[in-house]
Amino acid sequence: MTIEELANKKAMKAEKYNVFIDEELKTEQAGIYGYFYRDPRGNEHCIYVGKATSFYDRTFSKNGHIHKFLRFMETNREMYSDEFLNDSMATLIENNCSIIVRCLEIVYYFDAFFTRAAHRLAFAELYWITKYQNIEECLDQMPEGVGPNEEEYWRNHYAL
């Protein structure tokens, strides 16, 4: 089975849970993706932004978000229950929302130096996260590398 066939099979399973996935995420392109929910009134809100060196892998492989979500739902929320995105999606679906997973940006990942490519991808992810956080969305998403004591230090020294 090709990756496109596998992606389509999992995407069809996800649609049964009211989760809809952009076609770009069925490819091996690198870039930024977002998880959004559409409330019963039709308003869309961002809940998660991520980066991928392969949209297909990050979405559908054994470590992919949709693969883990499907396993979470198929095991009555036993498997992958510690993952924020699975629980958030399930709760939103129970509240008559649909989930839309879309490509936000394709990032050029070819380069002579891995560090440049990796920083380009990381910068693009941070751009989209801050864009949504500036409109009060994606606020539960922590940056990579944040340690367990940083929020407390921030509360004590910087919080308004």
**Per-residue model confidence as pLDDT tens digits over 45-77:** 999 999 999 999 999 999 999 999 999 999 988
In DSSP terms, which residues pair with 51 in a beta bridge? Answer: 32
Distance CA 153, CA 151 (A): 5
pTM of the model: 0.92
Phi/psi for 7 (5° steps) reads -60, -45
Q: Strands across the sheet with 98-106, in order?
A: 19-21, 98-106, 31-38, 44-52
Q: Where are the domains of the chain?
A: 3-157
**Per-residue model confidence as pLDDT tens digits over 113-160:** 999 999 999 999 999 999 999 999 999 888 888 887 999 999 999 999
